[in-house]
Amino acid sequence: MAKHVPMRLCIGCRTRETIDSLVRVAFDEANDSRSLVLDQRNVLPGRGAWLHRDPKCLSTALRKRAFARAFRGRVDTAQLEQSLSAWHTTDTTTYNNDESGSEI
């Protein structure tokens, strides 16, 4: 209760959440391009965006081009799309299609 955890906006579902249930997205510093990666350890410098560790939020953000907005420009989301497939294979039991309209 006493622990204060900062909150951030998930750019997928636009819900405010404590950062311990979110994952940070930032530019890959190993690679001088505009390539976005998941910053699992929260160590990458520069601008970041936050997302639930939920395939739905990531795919929504990709589909709505929320990353281009969050990072103010063209971004390469190929690596994020790979992470999305990885999440889908590990989280299939948790995330059933409980709502209609999913084309995934």
Select the span of 9-17, 33-41, 62-70, 79-87 touching Zn ion (CB under 5 A): 9-17
For the CB of residue 15, give the shortest distance to Zn ion in the complex, in Å.
5
Nearest approach, Cβ of residue 49 and Zn ion (Å): 11
Exposure string (b/e) for 40-49, b if CB count within 10 Å is 16 or more?
eeeebeeebb
Task: List all residues 6 or more positions away from 101 whose beta carbon is below 8 Å from its beta carbon.
Answer: none
Considering the rule CB under 5 A, would residue 13 count as an interface residue with Zn ion? yes
Q: Which stretch binds Zn ion (CB under 5 A): 32-40, 48-56, 72-80, 96-104?
A: 48-56
Q: Minimal CA–CA distance to 98: which of 52, 54, 51, 53?
A: 54
Q: Does 55 bind Zn ion (CB under 5 A)?
A: no
Q: Is 12 in the site for Zn ion (CB under 5 A)?
A: yes
Half-sphere exposure of 18 (CA within 13 A, CB side): 5
Q: Which is nearer to Zn ion, 15 or 90 (CB)?
A: 15
Angle at CA of residue 71, ends 16 and 101, nearest 5°:
60
Residues that bind Zn ion (CB under 5 A): 10, 12-13, 52, 57
